[in-house]
Amino acid sequence: MNNSGPRDVPAFGEDSAATDDALAALHAALAAATPPQAGVLRQAMDALAEARQRMTEAQDRYAALFNAVPDPVSILSAEGVVLDVNRAGILAYDRPRDAIVGQPIELLNPDLPSDHLQPVWEALNRGDTYVIEVTNMRGDGSRFPVEVHSAGFQDHGEPCIVAVARDLSGRWRAESRYRLLMESIDKGVILFDRDLRVLSANPAAHRILGVNGNGHGSGFNALLDPEAWLIVDENGNTLTPAQWPTNRCFQAGRVIRSTIIGLYHRPRGRMLWLSTTNVPVFGTGCDQADHVYSMFSDITELKRNNTLFARAQSLAHIGGWEWDRGLQRLYLTDEARRIVGQPLDMNDMPDLLDCLRSDDRVALQQALADTIEHRSSFGLELQGQRRDGHSFWIRMIGEVSTGDVDAARIAGTVQDITERKQAEETLRVQARTDPLTGIMNRDAVLNDLGVRMGSPGHDRVAVLYIDLDRFKVVNDLLGHNAGDELLIEATRRIATAIGTEGLLARFGGDEFLVICDVHDQPDQAEQLAERITAAFSSPFQLGSDEFPVTASIGIAVAPRDGDRPQQLIQNADTAMYECKRRTRNGWQVFSPELAQRQNDRLQIESRLHKALDGDEFRLVYQPQISLRSGATIGCEALMRWHNTQLGQMRPDLFIRHAEHTGDIVRIGQWALREACRQVRQWQDDGLGTLRVAVNVSWRQFVGEDLARWVRQVLDEFGLPGTALELEFTERVLIEDAPDTLRTFARLREMGVMLTIDDFGEGYSALNYLRRLPIHGLKLSQLFVEGIPRNRSDVAVCEAVCAIARSLGLGVVAEGVETEAQRQCLLGLGVTVGQGFLFAPGLPPDEFERRLRGRQPPPPPL
Ligand code: C2E
Ligand code: MG
Ligand code: MG
């Protein structure tokens, strides 16, 4: 088709000129016409004028419409010559109408290919509209993008084209901004079609996925061989194609946000971690997405750091948290979640607070409030419970981030300290527990009592001090295992007796404490004491032996009997001693009289302590007499104490005190040395070698080398061992001195005579008698007193004599006061005795006089 020159066709609007010509011709004909002809002509002229009028109106309408269209509209001939152009076209192309009309269309569309009309006519002949994006050119040569919609019509039987051009400059600007954005952002953006073909991909997508390409999908489509890729979720689980976020987006037709996926490219052996958001794109009127924009960032580094960080967290048992107060969100790292053992629904601070112990909940709330108020930080150790019921201990640290003026976010760490706390707890329990019986120990009960007595409302508290009677006998006779068994059984019995009404603790060897509240029931302590006593009524089965063991209980009630733990326990102890002294196997409530007695005791004990240095002791000597001949064959040294304030004190009393305080050890050493000094002096004074019996307390066997001391004293005064006799009570046998037997053996080796004093009064542990290297027994005056009238006393004396005889031991009778007793004793085979019948304890000079035969007559009975 030739587009080079204007085509000779009438311009649009030229039809009206033809009508005007016809009208002028009719006017000329009218002038020469006959009247009848003139009538016809006039009719024709009127019709013509009317037709002309209508045409003018139609042309005006067309022109108004044509020019009202805001987009450039051109009318083209079939060959592409511009027949008309509207006002918008004249403005857009910036050329006068005359410079356009009659020109080939290439004037306006310089970039059209030479055969561009062919596809146009093909479309128009099908009855379609032809649309094309082209570039138009203005009169000054500048260009602008247009989208041209072309349609065909007939004009005077000739096919014509009406072309409407829409200026795309605005859209192009938007598209170039979009392109710039796509090219510059660091997020990868890929447009997928439904077959998951890549339609476009921005440079970041190329860079992230390592594809060289031109921004279209070709490079990608080669890369996206499904066989080459392994796609996994955040935790490394393989995703099926249906689970790929892009496919899910197509399926669901909605945005799939911030999904973390891992892409492993098998041939390259490369792992990529992406955070991807997929947005569906819907075609007009479609209810299914036909495209998906997949936008993603490379989080491989982040993920690596995260993984390393998570590993470090889990190794250190430290998790992280952040509380966004504004959003009311609590963010916990995986490790933090593991530590508090909560699933994903712990989303705000109250959820965390909920699983804490109530005190700790309050503590954390307070710490958070303080932290917010002062923009500061906190560190707390908190205990809580996991969903599975296990309790946890955490150390929680938190602070407001620097620059956060509103304290809108508090963040910190949470550390699992459960193991440490459990270890501490175990240690604490161990430190509080008596290992043998499993009940509280002394320290724990003292602490507990202190707390109770210190807290208001709990000040009315009672202490029961329990001491087992005869425990030491069991321990000694049956061995430590039996002793342990006894303690365990005793614990069980007491615990059963008190139930939940008291707190039981082991206070010492065979001593227990029970603490109870006496608020609601004033006689609660007595009731418990009664129940405990009853619990000891049946004997204990120890191995094959049955052993009756009882308990002596002292009771003290706060605040009446003391407002401090030590004082209360001390008073309960005093009451217990009183009980033991009076009856054993029972209970005694502390009283002020007991306290008075205690006070006296303290007085005595403190004076006794200083008595040795004050030279307040003396020894008197009671002769030991041959019951047959009346000859003095020895003597017993008996201690006397005179104190200026207390006066003359009874030995049995002050000796007990001295034993209690331990002063007896020094006092006993003094007595031993003094007696030996006296014997030596008598010997030097020519009275011959006399044997002196010295009393030795059980305490001198515990913790002091008695044999060594005896050796030293004998050596000091140059005396043979045979000049000394040691009297000890059966208590020596039942106290737990490890070296008792060895001490006895060494003393015997020295020639020292060993005698059990007051035999029959104590425990009479007969099996000891066989094992001990002793020489004799002293028949207690308790029994001598009753003979010869009291038959049972006679029987006891007979039995003691029989035992002594069978073991080859000598017997000395104590407290011989009457001639009848002397006779009776002689009848029983006892040949030595001491007593007021012969003489009381005598000062040394008196004793000496008596020895020299110048003694005064015995006092009247
Ligand atoms: P003991 O060793 O059994 O001493 C005998 C006690 O009987 C002495 O009492 C003595 O005065 C008293 N006595 C002697 N003959 C008669 C009598 O015919 N009738 C009565 N009713 N009593 C008589 P004493 O001196 O009061 O001593 C009491 C206890 O004190 C002693 O009993 C002994 O166990 C202890 N004792 C005395 N001196 C010492 C000492 O130096 N060391 C130790 N450890 N204990 C001592
Ligand atoms: Mg004695
Ligand atoms: Mg005696």
Give the per-residue SS3 of 124-138.
Answer: HHCCCCEEEEEEEEC
Q: Indicate whether 3 pLDDT > 70.
A: no
Q: Which ligand is nearest to the CA of 758?
A: 3
Q: Indicate whether 2 pLDDT > 50.
A: no
d(CA 340, CA 415): 10
Radius of gyration of the chain from Cα atoms? 62
d(CA 120, CA 122): 5
Q: Which of 616, 757, 814 to mutate to test the pocket of ligand 1 (most atoms within 8 A of CB)?
A: 814
Residues 666-688 have a mean pLDDT of 94
- Report the largest interatomic distance among the alpha carbons of the chain, rounded to a whole angstrom: 218
Q: How many CB atoms lie within 10 A of CB 207?
A: 13
The pLDDT assigned to 343 comes to 63
The pLDDT assigned to 857 comes to 44
Q: Indicate whether 859 pLDDT > 60.
A: no
249, 226 Cβ separation under 8 angstroms: no
DSSP, res 106: G
Q: Which of 670, 695, 727, 756 to mutate to test the pocket of ligand 1 (most atoms within 8 A of CB)?
A: 695
**42 C-alpha vs ligand 3 centroid, how far in Å?**
183
Please name the residue ranges forming H helices in 101-202. 117-125, 169-184
The pLDDT assigned to 409 comes to 84
Ligand 1 atom nearest 650 alpha carbon:
26
Q: How many CB atoms lie within 10 A of CB 236?
A: 8
Query: Going by CA atoms, what residue is nearest to atom 13 of ligand 1?
Result: 815
The pLDDT assigned to 199 comes to 86
Mean pLDDT rounded to a whole number for the chain: 87
The pLDDT assigned to 314 comes to 75
Token pair 């296990």 is found at 390
The pLDDT assigned to 15 comes to 57
63, 75 Cβ separation under 8 angstroms: no
Residues 584-606 have a mean pLDDT of 84
Q: Tell me how far apart the terminal alpha carbons of the chain are, to the nearest angstrom.
A: 175
Instruction: List all residues 6 or more positions away from 624 whose beta carbon is below 8 Å from its beta carbon.
Output: 632, 633, 634, 635, 636, 693, 812, 832, 833, 834
Instruction: List all residues 6 or more positions away from 308 whose beta carbon is below 8 Å from its beta carbon.
Output: none
Query: Going by CA atoms, what residue is nearest to atom 45 of ligand 1?
Result: 695
What crossing angle do the helices spanning 565-582 and 442-454 adopt, rounded to 10°? 120
Query: Going by CA atoms, what residue is nearest to atom 7 of ligand 1?
Result: 815
Query: Going by CA atoms, what residue is nearest to atom 42 of ligand 1?
Result: 695
Q: What is the pLDDT of residues 795-817, one digit of tens each?
A: 999 999 998 999 899 999 999 99
Tell me the two tokens of residue 337.
């979640």
Q: Indicate whether 6 pLDDT > 50.
A: no
Q: Which residues pair with 398 in a beta bridge?
A: 378, 412
The pLDDT assigned to 855 comes to 47
**710 C-alpha vs ligand 3 centroid, how far in Å?**
21
What are the distances in angstroms from CA 96 to CA 80, 84, 106, 717?
A: 19, 12, 16, 158
Residue type, 770: R
Q: Which ligand is nearest to the CA of 655?
A: 1
d(CA 130, CA 163): 9
Token pair 């979640």 is found at 337
Q: What is the pLDDT of residues 326-335, one digit of tens each?
A: 888 898 888 8
Token pair 């995703």 is found at 239
Q: What is the pLDDT of residues 40-64, one digit of tens each?
A: 888 888 888 888 888 888 888 888 8
**651 C-alpha vs ligand 1 centroid, how far in Å?**
7
The pLDDT assigned to 620 comes to 97
The pLDDT assigned to 219 comes to 65
Query: Going by CA atoms, what residue is nearest to atom 24 of ligand 1?
Result: 651
Instruction: List all residues 6 or more positions away from 503 whose beta carbon is below 8 Å from its beta carbon.
Output: 440, 445, 448, 514, 515, 516
Query: What DSSP element (H or E) covers 821?
Result: helix 819-828
The pLDDT assigned to 595 comes to 78
Q: What is the pLDDT of residues 418-469, one digit of tens each?
A: 999 889 888 888 888 999 999 999 999 999 999 888 877 656 899 999 999 8
Q: What is the pLDDT of residues 525-564, one digit of tens each?
A: 999 999 999 999 999 988 887 888 889 999 999 888 888 8
* CA 156 and chain centroid, separation: 99
The pLDDT assigned to 492 comes to 97
Percent of the chain with pLDDT over 70: 92
> Beta strand pairing status for 551-557 and 586-589?
parallel
The pLDDT assigned to 263 comes to 87
Q: Indicate whether 725 pLDDT > 90.
A: yes
267, 247 Cβ separation under 8 angstroms: no
**741 C-alpha vs ligand 2 centroid, how far in Å?**
20
Ligand 1 site residues (CB inside 6 A) read 622, 638-639, 650-652, 655, 668, 671, 695-697, 727, 757-758, 781, 814-817, 834-836, 840-841
42, 133 Cβ separation under 8 angstroms: no
d(CA 500, CA 528): 11
d(CA 615, CA 395): 67
Helix and strand counts by DSSP (H, E) for the chain: 30, 32
What are the distances in angstroms from CA 530 to CA 466, 506, 578?
A: 12, 19, 17
Sign (positive or negative) of CA dihedral 599, 703, 692, 624: positive
What crossing angle do the helices spanning 592-611 and 651-661 adopt, rounded to 10°? 80
Q: What is the pLDDT of residues 367-416, one digit of tens each?
A: 999 998 888 899 999 999 888 888 899 999 999 877 667 777 888 999 99
Closest C-alpha among 310, 295, 289 to residue 261:
295
Of 31-45, 153-167, 556-570, 774-788, the poorest mean pLDDT is in 31-45
The pLDDT assigned to 738 comes to 64
Q: What is the pLDDT of residues 598-643, one digit of tens each?
A: 778 788 889 999 999 999 999 999 999 999 999 999 999 999 999 9
Residues 179-203 have a mean pLDDT of 88
Query: Going by CA atoms, what residue is nearest to atom 25 of ligand 1?
Result: 638
The pLDDT assigned to 763 comes to 62
The pLDDT assigned to 734 comes to 67
d(CA 338, CA 360): 19
292, 249 Cβ separation under 8 angstroms: yes
Of 748 and 48, the structure prediction assigns the larger pLDDT to: 748
> Beta strand pairing status for 692-696 and 632-643?
parallel
Sign (positive or negative) of CA dihedral 820, 823, 828, 829: positive
Question: 3-state DSSP call for residue 601?
Answer: helix
pTM above 0.85, yes or no: no
Query: Going by CA atoms, what residue is nearest to atom 22 of ligand 1?
Result: 815
Please name the residue ranges forming H helices in 332-395. 334-340, 349-354, 358-374
The pLDDT assigned to 735 comes to 63
Tell me the two tokens of residue 134.
């082209």
d(CA 794, CA 788): 6
The pLDDT assigned to 128 comes to 86
Ligand 3 is an ion; its neighbours by CB within 5 Å are: 757-758, 814
**359 C-alpha vs ligand 1 centroid, how far in Å?**
66
Q: How many CB atoms lie within 10 A of CB 238?
A: 11
Question: 3-state DSSP call for residue 222?
Answer: helix
Confidence class for position 9, pLDDT limits 50, 70, 90? very low
Of 763 and 7, the structure prediction assigns the larger pLDDT to: 763
**839 C-alpha vs ligand 1 centroid, how far in Å?**
13
Instruction: List all residues 6 or more positions away from 797 whose beta carbon is below 8 Å from its beta carbon.
Output: 779, 783, 784, 787, 824, 825, 828, 830
Residues 218-225 have a mean pLDDT of 67
Ligand 1 atom nearest 841 alpha carbon:
11
